[in-house]
């Protein structure tokens, strides 16, 4: 009865983890999240078969479902999700997907139809005690591929200069722990200890996905000083540029006699907003298409929106910064109620994991005559 209770608890936790992973995949969609969801679903189906086997003794069907879940689908898709999470090379990802397809279909078919040997009991059966040479070989090849994926992902993340490297390595470590426990139970069975170790495997995968889905802090979050400094630098650049141009084209003493350039203050009611979007992995192209469309609509239909531009950040490819200047507060309110702006806000949620908004009250600015015309053609 102890084995039955542990098997039931591990299956129950497995279904809970699968539901949580589905929520994570919806909240922060990525290929890695989908891979971990498939791994959790396959493993949980196997564990559910394990509950039936522990109650009424294992048979061919329950044995096959258990081993396909914990020895094939679970480890394979856990490691593939880790690879997609840690490796950004398009070529590497494409190659991994080719091997993934082959190592899913062929072993799955063989493990489903190959004949089994010996009788079963009520504890988790070991893979090698019942499968013949061919399915065992295919599982060995698949699990060797699993090791390659995990090691490659870990090495890639460790060598990458990133603020989130520690978090990424923690995610990969939890996935590797989950894979190790699942492979051990599949190969050795381990009696009543098997369901307990699978409980740990499911929990580790759950923790890895939760850590990966958590919005990452970056240098734009809660750093108002950063924007203050950036605004000061921008003002300095805009102030100094006319002086440099004058010195190249005019007498050096002009600056002395004319005095420093005059800062012209904009109207007191001018409003500005900076919006920083943090995108989900692989969602840059989709967000950029939406941003291009809404920028075009603002240019065409909002004469009182003086500037509306979307910027990428070379040092942070998952960041987008939208900078807007409105003629007054009423213009800002009208902009926020435009149909194209509301549609952009609705559709962009599938690409964005975090949004920061900074309200600006402009106290002074200077720019070349053609800047507004270049950014906002009417």
Residues spanned by CATH 1.20.1070.10 within the chain? Answer: 2-213
Q: How far apart are CA 378 and CA 374, in angstroms?
A: 10
Within 302-361, residue ranges assigned H as helices are 329-336, 339-348
| pLDDT recorded at residue 369 | 52
In degrees, rounded to 5, the angle at the alpha carbon of residue 97 between the alpha carbons of residues 202 and 281 is 70
Instruction: Let me know: does 358 contact 271? Beta carbons within 8 Å.
Output: no
Q: 359 has which bridge partners?
A: 273
How much is the pLDDT for 81? 94
**Which residue ranges does the chain devote to CATH 3.30.70.100?**
224-375
For 213, the token pair is 């889905």
The residue assigned the tokens 């603020």 is 163
330: its two tokens: 């009423």
From residue 375, how far is each of 294, 307, 308, 369 by CA, in Å?
14, 7, 8, 12
According to CATH, what is the number of the domain 224-375? Answer: 3.30.70.100
Instruction: Specify the pLDDT at position 160.
Output: 83
Kindly report the CATH number that applies to the domain delimited by 2-213: 1.20.1070.10
What order do you get walking across the sheet with 352-361 strand by strand?
Answer: 305-312, 319-326, 271-279, 352-361
CA distance 354 to 280: 9
Mean pLDDT per block of 10 residues along the chain (378 residues) reads: 84 92 84 93 94 90 94 96 91 92 95 88 88 94 96 92 85 95 92 90 92 60 42 44 41 47 54 90 90 90 89 89 88 88 89 87 58 55
Q: What's the pLDDT at 228?
A: 43
Contacts of 196 (CB under 8 A, 6+ apart): 6, 10
pLDDT number for residue 18: 93
């Amino acid at each position: 009865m102890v084995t039955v209770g542990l098997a039931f608890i591990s299956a129950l936790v497995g279904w809970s983890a699968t539901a949580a992973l589905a929520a994570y995949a919806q909240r922060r969609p990525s290929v890695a999240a989908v891979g971990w969801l498939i791994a959790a679903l396959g493993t949980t189906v196997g564990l559910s078969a394990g509950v039936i086997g522990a109650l009424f003794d294992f048979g061919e069907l329950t044995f096959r479902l258990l081993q396909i879940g914990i020895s094939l689908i679970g480890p394979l898709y856990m490691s593939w999700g880790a690879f997609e999470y840690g490796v950004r090379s398009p070529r590497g990802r494409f190659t991994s997907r080719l091997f993934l397809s082959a190592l899913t279909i062929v072993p799955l078919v063989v493990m489903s139809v190959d004949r089994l040997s010996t009788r079963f009991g009520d504890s988790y059966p070991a893979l090698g005690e019942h499968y013949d040479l061919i399915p065992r070989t295919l599982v060995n090849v698949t699990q060797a591929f699993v090791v390659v994926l995990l090691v490659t992902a870990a090495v890639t993340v460790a060598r990458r200069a990133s603020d989130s490297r520690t978090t990424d390595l923690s995610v990969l470590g939890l996935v590797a722990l989950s894979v190790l426990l699942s492979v051990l139970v599949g190969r050795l069975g381990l009696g009543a200890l098997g369901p307990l170790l699978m409980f740990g495997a499911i929990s580790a995968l759950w923790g890895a996905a939760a850590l990966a889905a958590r919005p990452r802090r970056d240098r734009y979050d809660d750093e108002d000083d950063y924007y203050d400094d950036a605004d000061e630098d921008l003002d300095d650049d805009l102030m100094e540029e006319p002086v440099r141009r004058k010195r190249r084209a005019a007498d050096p003493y002009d600056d002395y006699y004319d005095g420093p350039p005059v800062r012209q203050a904009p109207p007191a009611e001018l409003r500005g907003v900076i919006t920083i979007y943090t995108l989900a992995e692989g969602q840059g192209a989709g967000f950029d298409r939406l941003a291009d469309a809404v920028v075009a609509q603002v240019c065409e239909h909002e004469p009182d929106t003086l500037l509306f531009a979307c910027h990428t950040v070379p040092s942070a490819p998952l960041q987008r910064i939208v900078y807007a200047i409105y003629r007054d507060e009423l213009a800002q309110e009208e902009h926020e109620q435009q149909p194209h702006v509301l549609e952009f806000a609705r559709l962009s949620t599938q690409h964005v994991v975090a949004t920061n908004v900074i309200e600006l009250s402009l106290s002074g600015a200077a720019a070349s005559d053609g800047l507004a015309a270049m950014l906002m053609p009417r």
